[in-house]
Amino acid sequence: MQNLLFHKIDHYRPTYQRDATRVLGVDYGDPLYSSVRCCVQPATGKDTFFYLQQNIIISHTVYFNKSYGWQLDDLLQYGDRAFVITGVRNLIELNRCWAVDCYEYMGVQKQVV
């Protein structure tokens, strides 16, 4: 499985804060995990349809060989692309292959300095 994980991502957890004008803002801060090996793939039609029935949009599935404690709304930074987690699946029930379903965040990108 390790040979199939040829991409690397950074994993961020959002924190929500209100500023002085009571506007809710999101800060991703430092990554929880950096340079995590994975495989980023476009979502299949079957998975897209499954989530769409629940009014959830996905565009990509990211595969891992172990769990990193993902939560909904976590951000995965892959190069200059950002993905927000919308679902997590344990594919073979042995904690050996995890599929994290995401949508590509097209708004203001999280900039990694």
pLDDT of residue 108: 55
The pLDDT mean for the chain works out to 87
What is the model's pTM?
Answer: 0.83
pLDDT of residue 72: 92
Q: With contact defined as beta carbons under 8 Å apart, do 28 and 75 qualify? A: yes
Q: How many C-beta atoms lie closer than 10 Å to residue 71's C-beta?
A: 9
**Segment among 61-65, 80-84, 92-96 with least mean pLDDT:** 92-96
CATH class of 2-104: mainly beta
Q: Where are the domains of the chain?
A: 2-104
